[in-house]
Amino acid sequence: MNRKIFTLVTSFILCLTGIPQQPATPPSDEPSGLVKWLTLKEAQEKNKTVAKPFIIDIYTDWCGWCKHMMRTTYSNPGIAEYINTHFYAVKFDAETKDTIEYNGKVYKPLSSQPKTPHELAVKFLGEKLSYPSTIFVTNNYAYNLLSQGYLDEKQLEPLLVFMVENVWQNSSFDEFSKHFKNTFTPHTNFAKAPVKIYSFEEVIKLQKKKPRKVLVNIGSDFCNSCVIMNKTTYMDSALASYINKTYYLVNFKATSTDTILFKNEKYFNTLINNFPLHTLAFRLSNNRFSLPALCMLDEELNTIDVLNFYQSPERLRPILNFIGSNAYKTKSFNDFMQEFSKPPVEKKKK
């Protein structure tokens, strides 16, 4: 099992599933909100011991909207608790006169004059020096996401989930944000998912009569991106139609307390790193467990491959075709995609 992934997954317990329905936070008198802010030096030192993504608030002393964001967005108790749990939160004065080391490199002020941007601010923001700005950085500094301008609670929520639940690995933020909004917008009417869901027992019986490949969608109620996949990805009519024709889909909660007999072995819920998880989740994912995880099994219920983290319908469609058509047995995914992406050839009229 990948210990780094598991440590991240178990930190999802305090999540945002209910926050989008909260009313806007009234302005607070606390100038720094409820977030436990660190310096860049403190955050980088802590990250060496326990890895977490960074959220960096880039501000200036004269920026009114920066102060307003502290009094409103960062004073929301749910937002602050989520940030304090899952991020290293940094307040960075874009015009500081300090010398700062960031990711092994030293950055200095560009001038001793007031209102002059710091070298690091220019690195983060490029030519568009706009305040407030918020930059999100992965714990290994390999990926960052910049959002400029004031963010209220509803604008900040998808950005937080996008980073914490590793959605960035498989999806652009614009794509994910669209599906996030469709999932959590109040009064949104969701059509009943057209994809058919089976239990493990049903699949085992069906495999004897009409064998198919099997998709096991491993999720949890406390995983936001799992909820979004269930309410948007599997609601996609074209994708659901293909799944119904080609696969049997099983929804499996990683925290299930059921004892399940699978391929003549019993699997059950147990404490792993003091958190209750089902051993079948690790068996099906070949110990590549994440939330969510989509395990693709062949007709003999052997795992072909595992898709870790959030999958949008746009990304998932060609992958399921690649496996479902058995193309994976004879060609690479890149070769398959060249064919899959070609527009259909129109038949000439006689």
35-78 pLDDT, tens digit each: 999 999 999 999 999 999 999 999 999 999 999 999 999 999 99
Give per-residue burial for 234-266: e unless 16+ CB within 10 Å, then b: bbbeebbebbeeebbbbbbbbebeeebeeeeee
Give the pLDDT of residue 27.
59
Give the pLDDT of residue 240.
95
Q: pLDDT (tens digit, 0 to 9) for every residue of the chain, 350 residues total?
A: 232 333 333 333 333 333 433 455 555 555 789 999 999 999 999 999 999 999 999 999 999 999 999 999 999 999 999 999 999 999 999 999 999 999 999 999 999 999 999 999 999 999 899 999 999 999 999 999 999 999 999 999 999 999 999 999 999 999 999 999 988 776 555 555 679 999 999 999 999 999 999 999 999 999 999 999 999 999 999 999 999 999 999 999 999 999 999 999 999 999 998 999 999 999 999 999 999 999 999 999 999 999 999 999 999 999 999 999 999 999 999 999 999 987 765 655 55
Can you give the pTM of this predicted structure? 0.87
List the beta strands (DSSP E) in the chain: 54-59, 88-93, 100-102, 105-107, 133-137, 144-148, 197-198, 213-219, 247-253, 260-262, 265-267, 269-272, 275-278, 293-297, 303-308
Which of 298, 300, 288 has its CA nearest to residue 323? 298
How would you classify the pairing of strands 54-59 and 88-93? parallel
Cβ-proximal residues to 95 (8 Å cutoff; 6+ apart), any chain: 60, 61, 109, 114, 115, 116, 117, 118, 121
Contact 304, 298 (CB under 8 A): yes
In 186-236, alpha helices (H): 200-209, 224-231
Give the pLDDT of residue 189.
55
Give the pLDDT of residue 139.
97
Q: Helices then strands (H, E): number in the chain?
A: 13, 15
